[in-house]
Amino acid sequence: MAETTVNGSERVALITGVTGQDGSYLCELLLKKGYKVHGIVRRTSNVQRLRLEHLRTMPEVYGKSFFLHYGDLSDATTLRRIIHLARPDEIYHLAGQSHVGLSFEIPESTCEEIAMATLRLLEICRDQPHPIHFYHASTSEIFGFVKESPQTEETPFRPSSPYGCAKAFATDMGRVYRAGYNLFVCNGILYNHESPRRGENFVTRKISRQVARIKLGMADKLTLGNVHGRRDWGHAQDYVEAMWLMLQHPTPDDYIVATGKSHSVMDFVEAAFAVVGLPWEKHLEFDRSIERPIEPARLLGDAGKIERVIGWKPKRTFEMLATEMVEADLADLADLRS
The residue range among 12-20, 27-35, 226-234, 252-260 that interacts with ligand F7E, by the rule CB under 6 A, is 226-234
Q: How many CA atoms lie within 13 A of 36 on its CB side?
A: 15
Provide the residue type at 38 as one letter.
H
Identify what 94 binds: ligand F7E, ligand NAP, none; CB under 5 to 8 Å per kind.
ligand NAP
CB-CB contact of 38 with 13 (8 Å): yes
Comparing CB distances to ligand F7E, the nearer of 36 and 209 is 209
The nearest distance, CB 40 to ligand NAP, in angstroms, is: 6
Buried b (16+ CB within 10 A) or exposed e, 175-196: eebbeeeebbbbbbbbbbbbbb
The contacts of residue 116 (CB under 8 Å, 6+ apart) are none
Q: How many CA atoms lie within 13 A of 255 on its CB side?
A: 31
The nearest distance, CB 190 to ligand NAP, in angstroms, is: 4
The 8 Å CB, 24+ separation contacts for 141-144 are: 141/100, 141/167, 141/296, 141/299, 142/167, 142/168, 142/171, 142/189, 143/296, 143/299, 144/296, 144/297
First to last CA, the chain: 43
Identify what 292 binds: ligand NAP, ligand F7E, none; CB under 5 to 8 Å per kind.
ligand F7E
Ranges within 194-223 binding ligand F7E (CB under 6 A):
201-203, 206
**Residue 163 falls in the annotated catalytic set:** yes
258 near ligand F7E, judged by CB under 6 A: no
Identify what 304 binds: ligand F7E, ligand NAP, none; CB under 5 to 8 Å per kind.
none
Exactly one of 76, 116, 145, 225 binds ligand F7E (CB under 6 A); that residue is: 225
The C-alpha atoms of residue 99 and residue 268 are separated, in whole angstroms, by 19
Identify what 23 binds: ligand F7E, ligand NAP, none; CB under 5 to 8 Å per kind.
ligand NAP
Whole-angstrom CA distances from 162 to 93, 149, 167, 184, 240 are: 19, 22, 9, 27, 25
Binding site for ligand NAP (CB under 6 A): 17, 19-23, 42, 44, 72-73, 94-98, 113, 137, 139, 190, 192-193, 199
Comparing CB distances to ligand F7E, the nearer of 12 and 256 is 256
Comparing CB distances to ligand NAP, the nearer of 83 and 214 is 83
Catalytic residue among 92, 135, 163, 239: 163
Exactly one of 24, 192, 208, 237 binds ligand F7E (CB under 6 A); that residue is: 192
Question: What DSSP designation does 217 have?
Answer: T
The nearest distance, CB 106 to ligand NAP, in angstroms, is: 11
The nearest distance, CB 227 to ligand F7E, in angstroms, is: 6
**Residue 239 falls in the annotated catalytic set:** no
Exactly one of 4, 149, 152, 226 binds ligand F7E (CB under 6 A); that residue is: 226
Residue in the shown chain whose Cβ atom is closest to ligand NAP: 20
The C-alpha atoms of residue 208 and residue 196 are separated, in whole angstroms, by 9
Cis peptide leading into 196, omega within 30 of 0?
no
The residue range among 65-73, 83-91, 289-297, 329-337 that interacts with ligand F7E, by the rule CB under 6 A, is 289-297
CB-CB contact of 114 with 97 (8 Å): yes
The C-alpha atoms of residue 255 and residue 140 are separated, in whole angstroms, by 11
Helix, strand, coil fractions of the chain, as percent rounded to 5: 45, 15, 40
**Residue 139 falls in the annotated catalytic set:** yes
248 near ligand F7E, judged by CB under 6 A: no
317 near ligand F7E, judged by CB under 6 A: no
Catalytic residue among 19, 139, 204, 259: 139
Residues labelled catalytic: 139, 141, 163
